[in-house]
Amino acid sequence: MAFRRFAITGIVGAGSLVMIKEYYEKSRVKASWTTHHNTPEPSRKWDDNWDCRRPTPCKEVDSSGDKEVAVPTATRHLILIRHGQYNLKGKQDQDRYLTELGKEQANMTGKRLKELNYPITKVVYSTMTRAQETGKIISSHLPEDVPVENCSLIEEGAPIPPEPPVGHWRPEAQQFFQEGARIEAGFRKYFHRADPNQKEASYEVLVCHANVIRYFVCRALQLPPEAWLRMSLHNGSMTFITIRPNGRVGVRAIGECGYMDPAKLSTT
C-alpha cells in the first residue's frame, strides 16, 4: 500500500493525490439497508416524535426503583372521505348541497363501509353542507350507536400555497394564512398515535374535503405539504391512513373508489 501511494504521488503530485483521496471518500458506498444504498439527508429522515407523543418516563417509580413508561399499544385508523358531488352554482354554503349523483356516491361509499365491517368508533363531519349531507347518508349504513361529531376545523379551504402553483386558482395570501392555520389545527387534532390508555384499535371516519384530505396525506407522511395539489380525489372516495403505536404512519389507499360504478365517478 505504501508503494502504491508513492507511485501515485510520483505521477500526479501531492495536490492531486489529495483530490483523488477526497473523490474516493465521497464515492465510497456506505452500508445501508436500502436497495440503492442511500443515506437520507437530515431533513429527509423520519421524525418519530412528529406528534410530540413519543413515550417518556413517568414520575411514578415501581417496586424495583425503575421509572415506568406509559407506552401506546393500540393502532389508530383514519378513514378520510370526500363529500359527494355538489351544486357548483351555489354562492353560499347552504346552496352547495349534494346533487342526485352526489347522493348516489355517498350511498355507495356508505354501503362499502358496511361491507368492510370495520368496527367504526366515531364519525366526524365537516360543518359544511355538502359534508353534512354526505356524512348522514354514510352514517345511515353504520350501526346506530356509532358516535357522530361535527368539526369546523376540517372545513374546505386553502391549506398552503401549492408547488408548482396553479394558474387558475390563486387565493389571496391572507386566505392561506387564516385557513391554513385552521386546517393545520385539524391535522393536529386528529393525527397522532393512540393514547396509552387506549387498548383496542380504533377506526375513525372523517367526512370532509379534497384540499383538506390531500394536505393531511402530505403532512402525515412527512412529505412537503406544498405537494398537496398534485393529487386528485374522486367525490365520495376513501383515503385510509394508519398510525401505529410507535408513531409510524402508513397509507393503505388514497382516493379509493373502485367500488363505484364507473359512470358515477366525478372529481368536481
Q: pLDDT tens across 173-232, in order?
A: 889 999 999 999 999 999 999 999 999 999 999 999 999 999 999 999 999 999 999 999
Q: For the ranges 20-24, 148-152, 194-198, 213-217, which has the lowest average pLDDT?
A: 20-24
Task: List the grid coordinates of 43.
Answer: 431533513
CA dihedral 40, 77, 192, 219 (to 10 degrees): 50
Please check the confidence at residue 6 and state whether its pLDDT lies above 50: no
Tell me, what's the pLDDT at 64? Answer: 60
Specify whether the CB–CB gap between 222 and 50 falls below 8 A.
yes
* 222 labelled ligand-binding: no
Please check the confidence at residue 19 and state whether its pLDDT lies above 80: no
Tell me, what's the pLDDT at 172? Answer: 85
Tell me, what's the pLDDT at 35? Answer: 46
pLDDT band of 59, cuts 50, 70, 90? low
Residues above pLDDT 90, as percent of the chain: 73
Please check the confidence at residue 7 and state whether its pLDDT lies above 90: no
* 112 labelled ligand-binding: no
Q: For the ranges 65-69, 216-220, 263-267, which has the lowest average pLDDT?
A: 65-69
Tell me, what's the pLDDT at 69? Answer: 67
Tell me, what's the pLDDT at 166? Answer: 82
Say yes or no: domain 76-264 is CATH 3.40.50.300.
no
* 105 labelled ligand-binding: no
Tell me, what's the pLDDT at 34? Answer: 44
Instruction: Say which residue, 6 or 120, is predicted with more confidence.
Output: 120
Taking residues 39-53, report their average pLDDT.
Answer: 83
**Rounded distance, CA 203 to CA 120, Å?**
5
* 192 labelled ligand-binding: no
Tell me, what's the pLDDT at 171? Answer: 84
* 234 labelled ligand-binding: no
**Rounded distance, CA 166 to CA 137, Å?**
33
Task: List the grid coordinates of 2.
Answer: 505504501
* 118 labelled ligand-binding: no
Tell me, what's the pLDDT at 61? Answer: 54
Count Cβ atoms below 10 Å from residue 120 Cβ, excluding itself: 21
* 130 labelled ligand-binding: yes
Q: pLDDT tens across 84-105, in order?
A: 999 999 999 999 999 999 999 9
Taking residues 250-254, report their average pLDDT.
Answer: 97
